[in-house]
Amino acid sequence: MVITLKGATFSAISPESSEFRELLNIATRLADKDSSIWGEAAAREAKIRLNWVELPESSRELLPQLDALSAWAREKELGSVVLCGMGGSSLAPEVIAATYGKRLTVLDSTDPSQVIASIPERLSHSVIVIGSKSGSTIETASQKSFYIDLYRKAGLNPAEHIVIVTDPGSPLDIQSRADGFRVINADPNVGGRFSALSAFGLTPSALLGIDVSVLLDDALEASKEFVSTISPAVTAALALSKFPYVGFTDSGSSVPGISDWIEQLIAESTGKESKGLLPVVLASADDKVGGKHPVVTFDGSGDLSVVGPLGAQFIFWEWVTALLGYLLKVDPFNQPNVTEAKEQTTTLLDRWRGGKVEVSQPSARDGDIEIYSDSSATTVLAELKKMHGKSFIAIMAYLDRTSDHALAEIRSLIAEKFDVPTTFGWGPRFLHSTGQFHKGGPQVGGFISITGGVEKDLEIPGAPYSFATLEMAQALGDFEALAKRKLPVVRFHLTDRRAGITELLSAVRLL
């Protein structure tokens, strides 16, 4: 089965229209990896980022390596798989694992609680996958150091339990090979968020015992339709380009979690130059985007539904995103403001010599919540009311997405109270996703940052700071990046996480 589009909104796009024919021509050029599609300024970057188009075929070269890796893991009884990676390096494998009913622990956080929770019960029967194009991603580099140290302290050889996925010739590649680690190289001409069908998506999946050739088969079959006269990719790109906000819910579908992957793909690719399409991930079909905006489903229901197997979904949405870039006149392959957030984090870490966090005094305290804002509001409720009238609201929680998951309810509550598109992201992972849109997209949002006290911190081996310090630097760095744009932003710090979450949700219900 290939991709099928269902719903009146998709049906309204006529293959006979001039806009369809124009975009179909662009799709044909995309199939040929024409780097000039997005304009002269984007051509240089596009030229080294278009190999994702051919991954359904080229990734088959990885199959012998992946078979051998999987056999090694079975022989050594390494049945527990932990994946350390950010953005595209972790989101796609998480979807693949969920779709195939496999257990994969994903560590895409610097929160000490989540790092601790990722530690396998039996280290000797576990394999850790470190996924990073260069190895310079601060979160992944810190996680790698942590796990190497953990294995050594347990009297185990890290090289027999850690697998590296990275670009050939990267600093991580060179160092890992010198240290005796198993290394799988990805195609360097594929960007992170377009890497679902590359070594980044396939390596952890193969270690879980999944036949990844099926993903490639389904992607290849689907991609043959993208330059047809009724191209589903052209249809979807045209339909979605007409909206500033679109909801996505995979609840009840055969591809659980794909909404989070699509969120990163579209938001980070299109949110720049004050333009962009903001995806809003919904918990269920009954959940509300906020305002009158369409919702994409994956089970055939509703006005916009995309039905197809997972491999087909991956390549389909990558094509749709590239075509959206053309329609919105933005470079879909760069992420200038993600780099900005990283630089802000580094600046704070350099400033906090000795690893001691330096923060200003809160502007107010309300129960177990400290308020950091430039306003005179003295309560959480008063601060929340300031978000009224914004075109969208983004909630960014630098907490543990497992133990602090109760907070996620805040998204639907605020969407209902303010009736505007509302997103929720776990930090720091959203910095590699909607974080680009927040700073590079239309400057019409309101931002709520949430941090929390830490019961047990963890040192990062070889670093002059801990995980809690790194997480706070990422939160405050992003806060400063938003504040310098004069965007409305408030930070709620939960001195006691459990009590603070309860109090924050109670305040939202009073809006």
Q: What is the pLDDT of residue 285?
A: 84
Q: Tell the burial category of 100 from Cβ atoms under 10 Å away from its Cβ (0-12, 13-18, 19+).
A: middle
Q: Hey, how many other C-beta atoms are within 10 angstroms of the C-beta on 358?
A: 10
Joined together, the tokens standing for residue 495 give: 């001195």
Q: What is the pLDDT of residue 445?
A: 98
Structural domains of the chain sorted by starting position, each given as residue range(s) with its CATH number in brackets? 4-55+219-328 (3.40.50.10490), 61-215 (3.40.50.10490), 336-509 (3.40.50.10490)
**CA separation for the pair 336, 436 (Å, rounded):** 8
Q: Which amino acid is at 368?
A: D
Q: Are strands 162-166 and 126-131 parallel, antiparallel or unpaired?
A: parallel
Peptide bond into 120 cis (omega under 30): no
**What is the edge-to-edge ordering of all strands in the sheet holding 445-452?**
364-366, 369-372, 489-494, 445-452, 392-397, 422-426
Nearest to 507 by CA among 284, 485, 499: 499
Helix (H) / strand (E) containing 370: strand 369-372
Q: Is the pLDDT of residue 89 over 90?
A: no
**CA separation for the pair 12, 39 (Å, rounded):** 29
**CA separation for the pair 233, 374 (Å, rounded):** 45
Q: What is the pLDDT of residue 343?
A: 87
pLDDT tens per residue, range 426-452: 999 999 899 999 999 999 999 999 999
Tokens 């998951």 correspond to: 405
Q: Which amino acid is at 104?
A: L
Quote the DSSP letter at residue 187: P
Confidence band, pLDDT 50/70/90 cuts, at residue 276: very high
Q: Is the pLDDT of residue 1 over 70?
A: no
For 416, phi then psi, to 5°, come to -75, -40
Q: Is the pLDDT of residue 57 over 80?
A: yes
Q: Tell the burial category of 36 from Cβ atoms under 10 Å away from its Cβ (0-12, 13-18, 19+).
A: exposed
Q: What is the pLDDT of residue 134?
A: 87
Cα atoms in the Cβ-side hemisphere of radius 13 Å centred on 127: 29
Over residues 241-269, the mean pLDDT reads 97
Q: What is the pLDDT of residue 371?
A: 98
Q: What is the pLDDT of residue 88?
A: 87
**CA separation for the pair 96, 257 (Å, rounded):** 9
Q: Is the pLDDT of residue 135 over 90?
A: no
Helix (H) / strand (E) containing 248: strand 245-248
Over residues 406-434, the mean pLDDT reads 96
**289 CA to centre of own chain:** 19
pTM of the entire predicted model: 0.97
Nearest to 495 by CA among 406, 348, 408, 371: 371
Question: Which residues are registered as beta bridge partners of 395?
Answer: 424, 448
Joined together, the tokens standing for residue 44 give: 């240089």
pLDDT tens per residue, range 152-204: 999 999 999 999 999 999 999 999 999 999 999 999 999 999 999 999 999 99
Mean pLDDT taken over the chain: 96
Q: What is the pLDDT of residue 232?
A: 98
For 112, phi then psi, to 5°, come to -55, -40
Question: Which residues are registered as beta bridge partners of 493?
Answer: 370, 451
Q: What is the pLDDT of residue 262?
A: 98
pLDDT tens per residue, range 333-342: 999 888 787 8
**Reduced to 3 states, what is the DSSP secondary structure of residue 49?**
coil
Q: What is the pLDDT of residue 353?
A: 76
Three-state SS for 392-456 is EEEEEECCCCCCCHHHHHHHHHHHHHHCCCEEEEECCHHHHCHHHHHHHCCCCEEEEEEEECCCC
Confidence band, pLDDT 50/70/90 cuts, at residue 474: very high
Tokens 């680690």 correspond to: 181
Q: What is the pLDDT of residue 355?
A: 67
pLDDT tens per residue, range 350-374: 989 776 788 889 999 999 999 999 9
Q: What is the pLDDT of residue 359?
A: 86
